[in-house]
Amino acid sequence: MYSGLTEQLGISVKDKLLELALTHRSFSYEAGGIPTNERLEFLGDSVLGLVVTDELYKKFPDLDESRLSPLRSGVVNMRALAQIARDLKLGEYLRIGKGEEATNGRDKNSILADSLEALVGAIYLEHGYIRSSEVILKWIGSAIDSATAQGAGLDGKTALQELAASINMPSPEYEIVESGPDHDKSFVATVILNNERFPAGSGKSKREAEQAAARIAHEAISNRENKK
């Protein structure tokens, strides 16, 4: 039933687990409430995040958390995961409801990305972490290389600018408030993006404060995008 998919995956997974990983809640609703892939998705999201985090941690020993976080977001965001699912032709195997079928649900980024995470969860349950990580890195190795090539040298403001452009948002604006005497000034910066104000960042210079604010906004937007 899933021989074409397992051939694409390069690893065997029991049909029962694959069926569960590919069952969207819209199908479950129409089928009387059968189990969905959401628990596997929850598990796979954590496994995927750990594999990518571990790989970036080892690949860039000199980068701090503020630099590693946007790199990880560039690899495991919804659009990137959906593209991997398309490369695996995952949409052909999804069990979705009639409503989703009618609205091209098999090619929706959110459904594809969630299903890929559920598939990771299924592979992890059957084969454990080491084998799962090998499969995941095979899928996303080029994505890691691309994200790191673009992002390893990016500062917070540039990373935020590129993230905003990638999701069709306007360029971020920065509001600066300075305080203190001339010899000991401090600065607080706030990012305003698409009419939304993000938590402020602070620093001993305007640039430092803007960089801190940009990293805060970048993390907030990335987390939001990854939950879509």
Q: Where are the beta strands (DSSP E) in the chain?
A: 173-179, 186-193, 196-197, 201-203
Binding residue numbers for Mg(2+): 41, 114, 117
CA–CA separation, 161 vs 46, rounded Å? 27
Tell me the average pLDDT across 222-227.
76
Query: Which entry of 15, 19, 101, 117 is annotated as an active-site residue?
Result: 117
In this predicted structure, the answer to whether residue 157 has a pLDDT above a threshold of 80 is yes
| Residue range(s) of every CATH 1.10.1520.10 domain in the chain | 2-150
- Global model pTM greater than 0.85: no
In this predicted structure, the answer to whether residue 76 has a pLDDT above a threshold of 60 is yes
Query: Which entry of 19, 30, 38, 45 is annotated as an active-site residue?
Result: 45
Catalytic residue at 117?
yes
Q: How confident is the model at residue 148 (pLDDT cuts 50, 70, 90)?
A: low
pLDDT of the residue at 3: 83
Tell me the average pLDDT across 212-227.
83
| Residue range(s) of every CATH 3.30.160.20 domain in the chain | 156-226
In this predicted structure, the answer to whether residue 191 has a pLDDT above a threshold of 70 is yes
Task: Write the CATH number of the domain with boundaries 156-226.
Answer: 3.30.160.20
Q: Which of 50-54, 58-62, 71-75, 178-182 has the lowest mean pLDDT?
A: 71-75
Which residues does residue 193 pair with via DSSP β-bridges, in sequence order?
196
pLDDT of the residue at 150: 54
CA–CA separation, 18 vs 4, rounded Å? 12
Q: Is 2-150 CATH 1.10.645.10?
A: no
Secondary structure tally for the chain: helices H, strands E: 10, 4
6, 36, 32: which is closest to 21 by C-alpha?
Answer: 36
CA–CA separation, 10 vs 6, rounded Å? 6
Higher per-residue confidence, 156 vs 56: 56
